[in-house]
A and B are shown apart, each in its own frame.
Chain A
Amino acid sequence: QQQVKQSPQSLIVQKGGISIINCAYENTAFDYFPWYQQFPGKGPALLIAIRPDVSEKKEGRFTISFNKSAKQFSLHIMDSQPGDSATYFCAASTHYKLSFGAGTTVTVRA
């Protein structure tokens, strides 16, 4: 049973465009919601994370929007660059035990 549902499976965006990835969860005990970026052959790198007492967090071109009542959160990548082409995973956790979404492969066309 997948505890975190992620969509879309893949997306293609033009350079300079906005990439949006959505995740939904059921377990209201989750208290930490990170996003990871993974390049082929590498481990997941923490991109940005949010806790449920905050509705939005921005770090550079990356923004998390969090809707506690809807049990949804999303990642926005602004001004997408070819170097952003990677697989992105959302996750949710209690006590840092992470449940991952299925992943989204983002391709940024130059």
Chain B
Amino acid sequence: SAVISQKPSRDICQRGTSLTIQCQVDSQVTMMFWYRQQPGQSLTLIATANQGSEATYESGFVIDKFPISRPNLTFSTLTVSNMSPEDSSIYLCSVAGGLNTEAFFGQGTRLTVV
């Protein structure tokens, strides 16, 4: 299975600031996704990170709030912009494709906005 490294693992941020989360995979993957898990809730897909082009966002999520980059087949970043306490969640990177026929998750980034 793919080994996925997410950084940072957790952070406490001031409202109005931005945080960039990194996702690094140990092998080339076709698909990379970003999910949000609000406290005590299930996971919700934010967007598909497309290599070399703009991310594809799900309903309710916009590029200005969650800009995403994917410069190559093993790396992606998610930025949470102009944060408010409502953004306090776990943000998770998921990968699939390449040598992987399954979908795997990183350990997540636990974000608290104060």
Residues on A lying within 8 angstroms of B by beta carbon are 32, 34, 36, 41-46, 49, 89, 93, 95-103
Say yes or no: A43-B33 contact (C-beta < 8 A), given A98-B43, A98-B45, A98-B94: no
Does B92 lie at the interface of the complex (its beta carbon under 8 Å from any beta carbon of A)? Answer: yes
Residues in B whose Cβ lies below 8 Å from that of A89: 42-43
B33 contacts A44, CB within 8 Å?
no
Instruction: Give B residues with C-beta under 8 Å from A.
Output: 1, 6, 31, 33, 35, 41-45, 48, 90, 92, 94, 96-97, 102-108, 110
Instruction: Identify the closest chain A residue to B33 (Cβ).
Output: A97
**Closest chain B CB from A2 CB (angstroms):** 9
Question: Is the CB–CB distance between B42 and A100 below 8 Å?
Answer: yes
Q: Are B1 and A44 in contact, CB atoms less than 8 angstroms apart?
A: no
The answer, among B1, B31, B48, B105, for a CB contact under 8 Å with A36, is B105
Contacts of B106 in A (CB 8 A): 43
Docked pose: A95 CA to B97 CA in angstroms:
9
Closest 10 A-B residue pairs measured CB to CB? A96-B96, A43-B107, A43-B108, A43-B105, A100-B42, A100-B43, A96-B103, A44-B105, A96-B31, A102-B42
Query: Contacting A49 at CB < 8 Å: which of B33, B102, B110?
Result: B102
Considering the complex, give the chain A residue whose CB is closest to the CB of B42. A100
A45 and B105 contact, CB distance less than 8 A: yes
* Set of chain A residues within 8 Å of B35, measured between Cβ atoms: 98
CB atoms of B96 and A44 under 8 A apart: no
Which B residues are in CB contact (< 8 Å) with A102? 41-42
**A103-B43 Cα distance, complex, nearest whole Å:** 9
Bound-complex Cα distance A96 to B32 (A): 9
B33 touches A101 (CB 8 A): no
Given contacts A46-B102, A46-B104, contact A96 B97 (CB under 8 A): yes
Residues in chain B near residue A93, CB distance under 8 A: 103
CB distance from A1 to the nearest CB of B (A): 10
A49-B103, A98-B45 given; 15 more Cβ-contact pairs under 8 Å: A34-B102, A34-B103, A41-B110, A43-B90, A43-B106, A43-B108, A44-B43, A44-B105, A49-B102, A95-B31, A98-B103, A99-B45, A100-B42, A101-B42, A103-B41
